[in-house]
Structure 1
Amino acid sequence: MTDTGTTLVIGATGTTGSRTAARLTAAGHRVKAASRHATPVPGAQPVPFDWYDPATHAAALDGADRVYLIPPLGDSDPAAVMLPFLRRARDTGVHRAVLLSSSAIPEGGPAVGVVHQALPGLFEQWAVLRPSWFMQNFTGTHAHAVSIRDDGVILTATGSGRVGFVDAEDIAAVAAHALTDAHAPNTDLVLTGPEALSYDDIATIITEVTGRTVVHRRLSYEQLRDRLTALVPPEFAAILAGMDRAIAEGAEDRTTDTVQRLTGRPAGSFRALVEREMRRDG
């Protein structure tokens, strides 16, 4: 049994937002697709939205009773802009919120962990999705995907640490469930794929499927942090490099049954994703 209502999807043109909006509209739900450029999403109502421009918030929230939250990218303190918005959302009739966080960030942790901690006190129905690293990092516009295409190299400070990489399609399936099921999860959901893989394993699978040699080059924490500082603010670069160091220490070496339990089907494997999205790139 599912609820009916209008869902505001923030970041509706992003990796999980676009897939979540598509699933909701395909199932007949009303969706407001929010993004900075209000790019059309089939079946959804486009609405301009910018976390840093409160003037865009009222129109986005108008008529919405649930919201899918993608934090502002690259912000080491997203709570500063998200919490005022969430209080406004609550006051204008939103009763369910689903937040995209990360398996690496616990409730009350840095960055979006502060928002996670606040969510249960703001909404009667809520869920926090804490996916592991996206499989699509190797196939889209992420730095890993670019370096694979340009140089046949994956650069990390993860050593031989393993990660339960998860398909963004599975994240979206869980998000749609959490947004529409009559019984709100009101919980923290760690999402992974079916197996934990090292970046060496990732390189091997891509090589086997595409026929193009890809290797994993291991960097130190400091080397990665300095490389990232050229791309993002120093505080965020340190957080990202620290996540790689945590992987090297075993923090992400796990799998969960969350996707199977909530969607009724097994999580997709990385090899299946490469065969689906990368074979022709080989």
Structure 2
Amino acid sequence: MSDRGAVLVTGATGNTGSRVVPRLAGLGRTVRAAARRPSAPYGIPFDWYDPSTHAAALRGADSVYLVPPVGDPEPDAVMLPFLERARAAGVRRAVLLSSSAIPRGGPAVGRVHAVLPELFDQRAVLRPSWFMQNFTGRHLHAATIRDSGVIMSAAGDGRVGFIDADDIAAVAARALTDESAPGTDLVLTGPQALSYDDIAAVITEVTGGRVTHRRLTPDRLRERLAAVMPGDFAALLAAMDRDIAGGAEDRTTDTVERMTGRPARSFRAFAEEELRREAPADRC
């Protein structure tokens, strides 16, 4: 884009935002890394639920990467007023992080997806499959793997095209900085669709610690998730697992390669690099 302004990255300390920021900086773009607890060197305070933080974050921005507030089943309530304000402030391009499981006009962020074309001519909606990072760090699957060598889901034998957050960030950076934005939604997956049994087998082989997949009913999964997140969001996630069991996520796309010029990383390659170093030494 000519006469380039800053790129505002919301959720800048999260899975994808923390990866988008350095990519944009490496391309020579001015970055505003917006988060409730921002970090140097590009950090700026931002809270979806505190409109007093919005004007400063938007100042000088012509593009924005939109990460919905985590765990909110109705993010449109805060995101749509912000997007109206962003357009009035001079933002010309918006790239929204959604989900492969949520179509335009669907629940949660799907309602933001539906309105985006009315607000921005330059736009893209990233619809990644489930993150490989769900099995690392502080995420729920990672915790149960560390604690008991178990992955719990209601997905049955259903398969998912798990994707690395680094690949999502690479696509986001292109969508934010190419001469023209894609102008459509982009379904992002890894190169293989894998079941949770497959995932458990790869983790077992790579780390040397035995991991199994424990199959729950959707209701049982919802109850378990509701202990650590809002009930409506827990119900949404449990319904997504039920859909996975029915084959809704059994697909792969070449979008990462088309957008970046390189293939998406496989789960095995991810596990060999990221999971092996997290494996507890005393579990077998």
TM-score by length of 1: 0.97
- Give the match's secondary structure for 2:61: coil
Select which of 276, 281, 284 maps to 1:279: 276
Aligned partners of 2:99, 2:2: CA distance in 1, in Å?
A: 26
- Residue 119 (structure 1) aligned with residue 136 (structure 2): no
1:47 match: 44
**Could you list the per-position Cα deviations for residues 235-272 of structure 1 after superposition, in whole angstroms to 9, with x for gaps in the alignment?**
11110100000000000000000000000000000000
The root-mean-square deviation of aligned C-alpha atoms, in Å, is 1.1
8 Å contact kept, 2:141–2:152: yes
Aligned partners of 1:94, 1:267: CA distance in 2, in Å?
A: 30
The AA in structure 1 aligned to 2:7 is T
2:177 match: 180
What does 1:226-265 correspond to in 2, within 5 Å?
226-265=223-262
8 Å contact kept, 2:163–2:188: yes
Deviation of 1:281 (Å): 2.5
Select which of 71, 84, 96 maps to 1:74: 71
Deviation of 1:139 (Å): 1.2
The AA in structure 2 aligned to 1:179 is L
Runs of 4+ that moved beyond 4 A: none
8 Å contact kept, 1:3–1:180: no
1:85 match: 82
Q: Which ranges in structure 2 are unaligned for 5 or more consecutive residues?
A: 280-284
The AA in structure 2 aligned to 1:119 is L
Aligned partners of 1:54, 1:4: CA distance in 2, in Å?
A: 25
- Give the match's secondary structure for 1:15: coil
What does 1:121-270 correspond to in 2, within 5 Å?
121-270=118-267
Aligned partners of 1:119, 1:52: CA distance in 2, in Å?
A: 20
2:25 match: 25
Deviation of 1:5 (Å): 2.9
Aligned partners of 2:235, 2:191: CA distance in 1, in Å?
A: 29
The AA in structure 1 aligned to 2:243 is A
**Could you list the per-position Cα deviations for residues 112-143 of structure 1 after superposition, in whole angstroms to 9, with x for gaps in the alignment?**
00000000100110000000000010012110
Select which of 83, 100, 114 maps to 1:103: 100
TM-score by length of 2: 0.96
Aligned partners of 1:109, 1:8: CA distance in 2, in Å?
A: 26
Deviation of 1:280 (Å): 2.2
Q: Which ranges in structure 1 are unaligned for 5 or more consecutive residues?
A: none
8 Å contact kept, 1:3–1:181: no
Deviation of 1:229 (Å): 1.0
Aligned partners of 1:96, 1:280: CA distance in 2, in Å?
A: 39
8 Å contact kept, 1:2–1:180: no
Aligned partners of 1:5, 1:261: CA distance in 2, in Å?
A: 26
Aligned partners of 1:2, 1:152: CA distance in 2, in Å?
A: 52
Aligned partners of 1:219, 1:239: CA distance in 2, in Å?
A: 15
Identical residues among aligned pairs (%): 69
2:37 match: 37
**Could you list the per-position Cα deviations for residues 7-27 of structure 1 after superposition, in whole angstroms to 9, with x for gaps in the alignment?**
000010000000001111122
1:57 match: 54
8 Å contact kept, 1:157–1:248: yes
Evaluate the alpha carbon distance shift between residue 184 and residue 211 of structure 1 in structure 2; reply closer, same or farther with a 3 A threshold: same
**Could you list the per-position Cα deviations for residues 149-172 of structure 1 after superposition, in whole angstroms to 9, with x for gaps in the alignment?**
111100000000000000000000
Aligned partners of 2:62, 2:247: CA distance in 1, in Å?
A: 39
Aligned partners of 1:27, 1:140: CA distance in 2, in Å?
A: 28
